[in-house]
Amino acid sequence: MIKTSRGRRPEVRRVTFVLPLDAPPGPVSVVGDFNDWQPGRHELRKRSNGTRSAAVEVSPGARLRFRYLADGGRWLDDPEVPARDGRDCLYIAD
């Protein structure tokens, strides 16, 4: 699941990537064009509500290409993001 909210400044949107705590097990990073596809830069962290999340700040209207990278090099898509850009998920920060 992805949530978009206002950033700390009016010209920024905060995009939060959320996965259930146990799906998949082990460490998971969100990687994409916003972090030069670097694993570990945005590792999902455990939250008190039983999910894991990581957030990035982008410009409104930014098109984010991304995927999740799980332990062992396993790539995952976000099942709630209907748009795909080739093989990657595509999300537009509104």
- The residues, ordered by sequence, that sit 6+ positions from 67 with a Cβ below 8 Å of its Cβ are 30, 31, 32, 75, 76, 77, 87, 88, 89
- Gyration radius from the chain CA atoms: 13
pLDDT at 20 over 80: yes
Give pLDDT tens digits for 36-63. 999 999 999 999 998 999 999 999 999 9
pLDDT at 86 over 80: no
Q: Do 92 and 64 touch, CB atoms closer than 8 A? A: yes
pLDDT at 82 over 80: no
- At residue 88 the predicted structure's pLDDT band, cuts being 50, 70 and 90, is confident
* Domains of the chain: residue spans and CATH: 2-92 (2.60.40.10)
What integer pLDDT is reported at residue 37 of this predicted model?
95
Residue type, 28: V
Q: Quick one: average pLDDT of 13-41? A: 92
